[in-house]
Amino acid sequence: MSADDEWEEDWEDDASQWSESSASRPGGLALGFLASAPLAVFYEWSVTTGGGALRNTAERIVSLPLDLVGIPADPVRQIALLIGTLVALAFVRRAAIEDGEPLPPRVLRVPLEGLVAALALGPALVLGQDLLGADSVPFGLERLASEPKPSLATGALVAGGAFYEELVFRVGALGLAFLAWRGIASFFGATRHLARLFGEVGGIATSALVFATFHLDAVSHWVGVSGESFDAAAFTWRFVGGCLLGAIYRWRGLGVAAWSHGLFNLTLLLGAGPGVLH
């Protein structure tokens, strides 16, 4: 088989998987989008009721192109969310009918899996930090968590922002990095399966690095969001968390990754942290 034939077969394989994953697979993009849409609704409600004082970096990345051309980003983003949810619902409903399975259980399984993954994230992060010799501290939410009683709007923003972070850093950054690293490996003669493995590992690591970097003030201020000063332990925490979320995304899809991320952030806001696990 020539290199061109192998590439064409690989492309067709990916296209088939993408089509299937749009609705019928547990990790499908359509199902994940539909199941995690409530997180986006929480976030948009928080932005609307809170006057937009606090914003998520990933949401600002999504909104920035509209801001630059003078188009009000919030209503456009919210309309796009509604359209995306309706399209995802159509795909998932059709797949559920074809499979003879009721729609609600298919959708509700996603946040339940996200809850289980969120419970596992804490111990996994502590283990990752310990293996890398870094401090285990829930960086980033200390200021909000130190409030006597975080408001409902703050909780909605912290949990709901995970929807946009998973779209930007996992679906977007990880997907592009996967294609790039797989292409590099193929260029240097790696077999199809080895190139795919190289793409998976490289994609997860690269997206985690981007995820951690965009929490730094030196980067996030470019999109109008205050970030953290660089701290090696904090950066490692973000990187390990990004790797774990990337693995969840590749294994169980957008919805499970978004719910696990959002629920985990919410537990940190409410005062839970790695200290209780030691």
> Looking at residue 99, what is its pLDDT?
87
Q: Model confidence over 53-75: pLDDT tens digits?
A: 689 999 999 999 998 898 999 99
Is 5 a domain residue?
no
Is 220 a domain residue?
yes
Least confident of 25-29, 100-104, 245-249: 25-29
Work out the average pLDDT over 191-207: 96
Is 278 a domain residue?
no
Question: What's the chain's average pLDDT?
Answer: 84
Work out the average pLDDT over 199-225: 94
In angstroms, the CA 19 to CA 21 distance is 5
Residue type, 220: S
Is 146 a domain residue?
yes
* Stronger pLDDT, 22 or 170, i.e. the higher one: 170
In percent, how much of the chain has pLDDT > 90?
61
Is 6 a domain residue?
no
Domain coverage including residue 154:
11-271
pLDDT higher than 50, residue 183: yes
> Looking at residue 10, what is its pLDDT?
47
> Looking at residue 127, what is its pLDDT?
81
Q: Give the pLDDT band (50/70/90) at residue 125.
A: confident
pLDDT higher than 50, residue 37: yes
Q: Give the pLDDT band (50/70/90) at residue 51.
A: low
pLDDT higher than 60, residue 237: yes
Q: Give the pLDDT band (50/70/90) at residue 189.
A: very high
Q: Structure pTM?
A: 0.86
The backbone torsions φ and ψ at residue 228, rounded to the nearest 5 degrees and listed phi first, read: -100, 150
pLDDT higher than 50, residue 101: yes
Q: Give the pLDDT band (50/70/90) at residue 272.
A: low
Q: Give the pLDDT band (50/70/90) at residue 170.
A: very high
Is 240 a domain residue?
yes
Work out the average pLDDT over 83-89: 96
Is 58 a domain residue?
yes
pLDDT higher than 70, residue 6: no
Number of structural domains found in the chain: 1
> Looking at residue 262, what is its pLDDT?
96
Is 276 a domain residue?
no
